[in-house]
Amino acid sequence: MITADDRMKLVDWCYSIADHCLHSRKTVSSAMEMVDRFLSTPSNSADTARVAYEAQRDPIKFQLLTITALYVAIKINENIVISSDLFADMCSSHADIIVAEDIEDMERILLSGLSWRCRAPTAYLIGHTIMALIRPHAEIPNATWDFVIDEMKYLTELAVRDYYFSTQRASTVALAAIFNTVETSIKGPLQKVLEGFLLATMDCFDFDHSIQINEARRRFNTSLYHYQEERWINSV
């Protein structure tokens, strides 16, 4: 069976490919959202059922599914598209041997399994939208705004690595990231103002209860600690 650690390693690999190609890391978020949704959605054909079953048990199949999702996400989100042949060559230098036909066949199955719904909003996009709703009503200095957005972006990128967050609504991940950023990085009256607006925003939309948000916030703290510890160990 594929483990959370297997998934994390592939996410890190996807980030390395995105960085190498100068693509946005949000593209990796989009790719993993497709992977997680494909594996958790009831299959609409024998092919999708077979692939979903195999991908949850065979590391090679899961790797191919993830590579294909990244390929699709690049085509959807990036201005420069990579051919399937070139992408297969790039991936084969970092993973098991992949050919263009493998990616193209998996692409058809992936898109069919998702019913071609492949542009779901990511946690970062939702978080940015929430902050954009608040900004006209709160006097947020430009430097503070940029910092909050950057920190929220960092946390949502970190969340993609953690299987736990794939089981949560994207809006829950976004709100948890924003609340943690505001609590740890902003002091004084502005912190209270932003927290008040965030709570008011939660009341206006069908978001999860604060219990779920707080659980996600605690998970962020744990994930951040382990990630920083992992980076320190790798640097020694």
79 falls within a domain: yes
Residue with tokens 């510890």: 229
Does one domain contain both 149 and 108?
Answer: no
18 falls within a domain: yes
Does one domain contain both 132 and 102?
Answer: no
Spatial contact of 195 and 182, defined as CB atoms under 8 Å apart: yes
Spatial contact of 65 and 35, defined as CB atoms under 8 Å apart: yes
Residue with tokens 């939309």: 205
Does one domain contain both 165 and 88?
Answer: no
Does one domain contain both 159 and 55?
Answer: no
Does one domain contain both 59 and 129?
Answer: no
Does one domain contain both 29 and 88?
Answer: yes
Does one domain contain both 61 and 131?
Answer: no
CATH at residue 36: 1.10.472.10
Spatial contact of 122 and 30, defined as CB atoms under 8 Å apart: yes
Report the number of distinct structural domains present in the chain. 2
Whole-number Å distance between alpha carbons of 157 and 162: 10
Does one domain contain both 18 and 101?
Answer: yes
Mean pLDDT, the chain cut into blocks of 10 residues (236 residues total): 94 94 95 96 87 94 96 94 87 73 95 93 96 90 92 96 96 97 90 93 93 96 81 70
43 falls within a domain: yes
CATH at residue 208: 1.10.472
Listed in order, strand segments (DSSP E) in 157-209 are none
Does one domain contain both 129 and 107?
Answer: no
Does one domain contain both 140 and 174?
Answer: yes
What pLDDT was estimated at residue 93?
A: 66
Question: How many H helices and E strands in the chain?
Answer: 12, 0
87 falls within a domain: yes
Question: What would the 3-class secondary structure string for 73-108 be?
Answer: HHHHHCCCCCCHHHHHHHHHCCCCCCCHHHHHHHHH
Helix (H, G, I), strand (E, B) or coil at 6: helix
Does one domain contain both 44 and 131?
Answer: no
Domain final residue, candidates 113, 137, 167: 113
Does one domain contain both 226 and 178?
Answer: yes
Domain final residue, candidates 86, 113, 140: 113
- Boundaries of domain holding 9: 4-113
What is the pTM (predicted TM-score) of this model? 0.91
Domain final residue, candidates 78, 113, 148: 113
118 falls within a domain: no
